Structure 1
Amino acid sequence: MIEWFDDLTPGMRFKSGNVQITESDIKRFAAEYDPQPMHLDEAAAAKTVFKGLAASGWHTAAIAMNLAVQIRPFGPHPLIGMGVDELRWMAPVRPGDTLHLEGEVVGLTPSRTKPQGIALVKWTMFNQGGEAVYTFTPIAIVPCRPQPT
């Protein structure tokens, strides 16, 4: 079981369960946080580059965050970040899509001054067809195992 920075190894992988996205999910998020036509109205969305209703990229990011929290890649410790690298939206998320998240530890840097380290996990979210729709690499702070006194 992963509990500390010391338990992580490069190449370690994580995978979430599935979540299905509904039209009402897309419209509800968009109405509050990203009220643009391609997220709220099918007819207007059909006239955009998306050629149909698509989830906000920020909605996609929020779904990915929720799935990452459920995976608990750092055991009991919260996901605390200093930023995000390589954030990309690769394909639209549509009503009816079933998404899951996969992660791989791509970098581990112990702190020289604090009992913690920086873990880089490259997360990729896939739809039901195996198409990558979103990727991001958070710069996460993970505590080290306490030293015996």
Structure 2
Amino acid sequence: MGDKTYRRDITVPTSERRFEDYEVGSVCEFGPITLTQAEIIDFANIYDPQSFHIDPEAAATGPFGGIIASGLHTFGMAFQILVKEFLPTTASLGSPGLDELRWLRPVRPGDLLTVRITVVEARRSSSKPDRGIVRTEWKMLDQDDQPVLTVSGLNLIAVRDRSPDREPANDR
């Protein structure tokens, strides 16, 4: 992976970010992040105690040929990045949900992972003028740029300007 450059189309600090800063087509990448075998086993012992997550000997002869991270653990890592690095710290108003969560490849101890978040839709709420709705597509990639997880999410984000005709990038 080396000295990878991560794309950050949204440069406004998360403490100042509002709906208007999420322009359709914007991409932000974060990483690298990784998991140790101990972290994988600790998480799985509590939340997903299947043998290929918690028992190295059983996992070695199992369907994946070794310990792999729980999909929930992998998703949790991507979600943590979304919350800490992408969403506004003071203007995030929650989420009505996620769609199309897919685990495409196993995540193994030591994999170097990148989270890429793309804004695919940004529109003002028709019923609540204080917020906008931002749809994103997340992709978690391994060190070979192979996708290991994809998901689509919706987030409600406070607006900076309550004028009804203001959409992202209209003032740029």
TM-score > 0.5 by shorter chain: yes
Shift of 1:79: 6.9
Q: Does 1:15 align with 2:29?
A: yes
Does the 8 A contact of 1:16 with 1:70 survive in 2?
Answer: no
Q: 1:141: which partner in 2?
A: 156
What TM-score do you get using the length of structure 2 for normalisation?
A: 0.79
Alignment of 1:1-40 (within 5 A): 1=12, 3-40=17-54
How far does the alpha carbon of each residue in 1:103-137 deviate from its partner, in whole angstroms, 9 at most, with x for none?
A: 11011121112111111110101111111101111
Alpha-carbon separation, structure 1, partners of 2:136 and 2:89 = 14
**Residue 142 (structure 2) aligned to one of 107, 117, 127:** 127
Does the 8 A contact of 2:92 with 2:156 survive in 1?
Answer: no
Alpha-carbon separation, structure 2, partners of 1:79 and 1:112 = 16
RMSD: 1.8
Instruction: Output the amino acid matched with 2:152.
Output: T
What TM-score do you get using the length of structure 1 for normalisation?
A: 0.90
Unaligned runs of 5+ residues in structure 2 are: 1-11, 164-172
Percent of aligned positions with the same letter in both sequences? 35
The answer to which structure has the higher strand fraction is: 1
Does the 8 A contact of 1:87 with 1:134 survive in 2?
Answer: yes
**Residue 127 (structure 2) aligned to one of 108, 113, 117:** 113
Task: Report how many residues are paired.
Answer: 148
